[in-house]
Structure 1
């Protein structure tokens, strides 16, 4: 079974205002609400690709109830933990001449809530996959990812981490199966600017030296790189298409990689599936469907 873990999920409220002006009443021309959070995005894309999975996380208040309803409507099994104080956050994404975002805080997750999460994690079985993605709320220990990997150490699990800076670096000694920084996040870790694929490979190998097994780096319109644990290096340009919505593209790449790996058992196929799934989401108003991914795969074999 595949499990995804989102510590601070959200309702993503996306509004379009053709010419937003501060200080006056602005009226929307379009409104959409999606269940949000990196792990939840991974769950939704995996479901679209035909892979059943379980979404873990926390929820609170009336917004949390709506999050649960929306996730269920997507056909995803969720085992969210209720939190007494606060509410599931609303992230407002304003589309206008410039795009802006206002992200909410999220509920007050208590130590007892974290204990309940560990109880759910203890139920994972040998061979399961756990995807931990996204930021950690301020009310939680900033060592949370590392604490979980330490807690699960010695279990036969494949753990995927999609996080930034210390959240990512601190888990490396516990040998995550896959990490997925983008090239800017990779550069932040080492205090350098990384724009070329050759430099991506160099610094990805440094993360392997620290303990990562496979390092998948997204580079937006410049493609992607995979440095695999067997010594292979895969590079690809981005498929051609019109960028419609970049939100969730990186999460989709993670889902596609896992889908490709589980279906074929090879890193080259996993990489191809990951690249095309990330791009399919970027070229769509919503997250990638299986048909969209397969279409891109068929049209872009020359990239690989």
Structure 2
């Protein structure tokens, strides 16, 4: 089973306007409302591939109930923990010729709920997958990710971490199955400037020396590079098309990789599907679906 954790889910309220002008009252051309959060995005796209998974995380208030309703309506299985106080956040995303995002803070997560989540995670078994994506709320300790990986290290659980900075660096000694830094995060991790694909591969291998098994580096419109635990390096350009939305493209890429790996057992095919899925996400208003892209979701 695949489990995803979204520490701070949101309702993403997307407003399309002709041209955003500060200090003016404006009307939207259209609005969209989606469940948001990196782990949630991974769960949705996996479900589109027909891969069973469970989305976990913390929810609160009427917004939390709406997040879960939207997910279950889309066929996702959930196991969220509801907090008694506060409400899950609403992120406002304004779209004209640019992307402007206003992300809220979300509820305070009390210690008792954190302990409940850790208990759920501790029940994972050999060959389960756990996806830890994004930053953690301020109420969680900064070593939360490394404690989780340390607790699962002897169980044979395959962990996937999509985080940045120390949050990522500190989990490497526990040999995550897959990490997915983007190009900027890779630069920041090593305090270097990277301009060539050979340099991306070099620093991806450095992350392997620190403990990562497989390293998938997203490069935006340039595509991605994968360095596997078998010491193979693959590079693929992104599919060309009209970019509508970059939010969730990296999460879709991660879901595509997991779906490809589970379906074929091949890192190369998993990588190819990850790039195709990430590109499809960028061409979608939200996340890619099997109705939009049958050639991706049905033929693999």
TM-score (normalizing by structure 2): 0.96
Partners of 1:46 and 1:98 in 2: CA distance: 28
Is 1:58 the counterpart of 2:58? The answer is yes
Partners of 2:290 and 2:17 in 1: CA distance: 31
Partners of 1:293 and 1:75 in 2: CA distance: 18
**How many angstroms does 1:168 deviate by?**
0.6
For 2:259, the equivalent position in structure 1 comes to 259
Change in Cα spacing, 1:92 to 1:222, as seen in structure 2 (3 Å) is: same
For 1:301, the equivalent position in structure 2 comes to none
Per-residue displacement from partner, 1:196-248 (whole Å, max 9, x unpaired)?
Answer: 21110010000000000000001011111000000100011111211111111
**How many angstroms does 1:193 deviate by?**
2.2
Taking the TM superposition and a 5 Å limit, the aligned residue runs for 1:67-146 are 67-146=67-146
Change in Cα spacing, 1:274 to 1:94, as seen in structure 2 (3 Å) is: same
**How many angstroms does 1:292 deviate by?**
5.0
Partners of 2:88 and 2:253 in 1: CA distance: 26
Do the aligned partners of 2:159 and 2:177 also contact (CA within 8 Å) in 1?
A: yes
Partners of 2:207 and 2:160 in 1: CA distance: 14
TM-score (normalizing by structure 1): 0.95
Partners of 2:209 and 2:177 in 1: CA distance: 14
**How many angstroms does 1:85 deviate by?**
2.0
Do the aligned partners of 2:161 and 2:179 also contact (CA within 8 Å) in 1?
A: yes
Partners of 1:297 and 1:45 in 2: CA distance: 9
For 1:302, the equivalent position in structure 2 comes to none
Taking the TM superposition and a 5 Å limit, the aligned residue runs for 1:118-267 are 118-267=118-267
Do the aligned partners of 1:184 and 1:193 also contact (CA within 8 Å) in 2?
A: no
Per-residue displacement from partner, 1:232-273 (whole Å, max 9, x unpaired)?
Answer: 000111112111111111000100000110011011111011
Change in Cα spacing, 1:197 to 1:293, as seen in structure 2 (3 Å) is: farther
Per-residue displacement from partner, 1:96-118 (whole Å, max 9, x unpaired)?
Answer: 24321110001110111111001
Change in Cα spacing, 1:276 to 1:215, as seen in structure 2 (3 Å) is: same
Partners of 2:290 and 2:224 in 1: CA distance: 20
**How many angstroms does 1:61 deviate by?**
1.0
- Structure 1 runs of 4+ aligned residues shifted over 4 Å read 291-294
Do the aligned partners of 1:272 and 1:297 also contact (CA within 8 Å) in 2?
A: no
Do the aligned partners of 1:273 and 1:297 also contact (CA within 8 Å) in 2?
A: no
**How many angstroms does 1:141 deviate by?**
1.1
Partners of 1:285 and 1:60 in 2: CA distance: 26
Deviates more, 1:245-254 or 1:119-128: 119-128
**How many angstroms does 1:294 deviate by?**
5.5
Partners of 1:258 and 1:289 in 2: CA distance: 16
Do the aligned partners of 1:276 and 1:297 also contact (CA within 8 Å) in 2?
A: no
**How many angstroms does 1:23 deviate by?**
1.5
User: What 5-or-longer segments of structure 2 have no aligned partner?
Assistant: none
**How many angstroms does 1:293 deviate by?**
5.0
For 2:274, the equivalent position in structure 1 comes to 274
Partners of 2:43 and 2:273 in 1: CA distance: 16
Partners of 1:207 and 1:49 in 2: CA distance: 29
Per-residue displacement from partner, 1:180-201 (whole Å, max 9, x unpaired)?
Answer: 0111111010111223211100
For 2:33, the equivalent position in structure 1 comes to 33
Partners of 1:67 and 1:291 in 2: CA distance: 22
**Structure 2 residue matching 1:127: 3-state secondary structure:** coil
